[in-house]
Structure 1
């Protein structure tokens, strides 16, 4: 197997980040966004973290659903390009947040969440991201789940008692073709149909790479039972789940005991 030093990570690249800025126009993603927002309950004065935030759609949802009364919502992502999207969002959000209230940080969550102390956040959200936490073992010569498992533990650590963790992950062996089929109706509602088609094609072009790397163990499209077992072992309770994203993602909500 190739070593990590010669393997590309498209998620860090600006072109990949920009390609996914338009995913809210895709019907399947809109379904997932609506489902995720329904499970979020941000309260005034709380602090929230968005893992793998991309252009900030879930970060925005948290701010708006709280009525603009969160103490802070932070989005982290490995692609620096997403800072541009956050600056644009801050300029149009109502009520307008300060930079400190609605913040983007370039971070790789594969390394954990060491920026924050224990029980710092009231809630954590993540949309189709945490399964890309990656770790490679030179001694074993293979990819491992170490970073993924560490990230789940770190989320538990930074959450306050009774805090919620709402996240979505891709199902095992995703049917990208089915997702593409469900996406085509979006061209008829898009403001710029040709632009929609171009962005949709760019997003789908990453599908073969993602599936290949998941089969190698680099990314983690895990069975629901495996995810639930990991969450329970760490200490999470009240685990709920449903399918979304044209049946290609699990949406999961759990809580840290008070």
Structure 2
């Protein structure tokens, strides 16, 4: 097996064990910052991936996430936040994680080498023609990720492949290849560090852009937030008050009329009836800008 750049030696690795703690921490921080900077060349690919994901969701399809090990954990973290942040139904954002829930408590390397697990997870996800899946692998050669990407494409699913090694197999399989060339790790081969950090930041940016494309982010506010705890109920009231430019009491009253739904509450606070607010949002595809700007 040829050496991948994620397995190569980082200049700061030599003698790392013998350095002062402050020097070690400084080297690790610098490496993390450099890893994030590696995202700049990937921005056009991230935009294409976000646009494709938004189209899939807008047309009633699904946006799946897939990965193993650290890459899978980064994918899982972003996937789980979509419902609370953007109000996306969980059944439309399936997660394919090598080893399933059991692997979240006891990580097992062997599961990432099992193509049968990938196929079974893909079957359970329900992903099909018109849907999209984001497949992550630092090396770009993880069997679980490659099998998922290949089988998904065969089913008509659009694949965005995220890898940290140029020329890797996953990038070759993907409809939208996203190369994040983070290079060697300070702890050689530990891609849970720079590579995983950059992957998570990439997914953060992608999902926010998807939210904007779907009209779930307006003026920097999460206007499709699902208020299922005290913090989010308070946030929903503050969002309605700010966007509708009304007092807090009027915002809370509007939210009561819309059963906590923020977008229609913003319109209700500005004088619409709940029914008219919902109809107006249907006409604009869920975007507030045409209705209040």
Identify, as 1 or 2, the structure richer in strand: 1
Provide TM-score, normalisation by structure 2: 0.33
Provide TM-score, normalisation by structure 1: 0.36
Identify, as 1 or 2, the structure richer in helix: 2
Q: Rg bigger for which structure?
A: 2
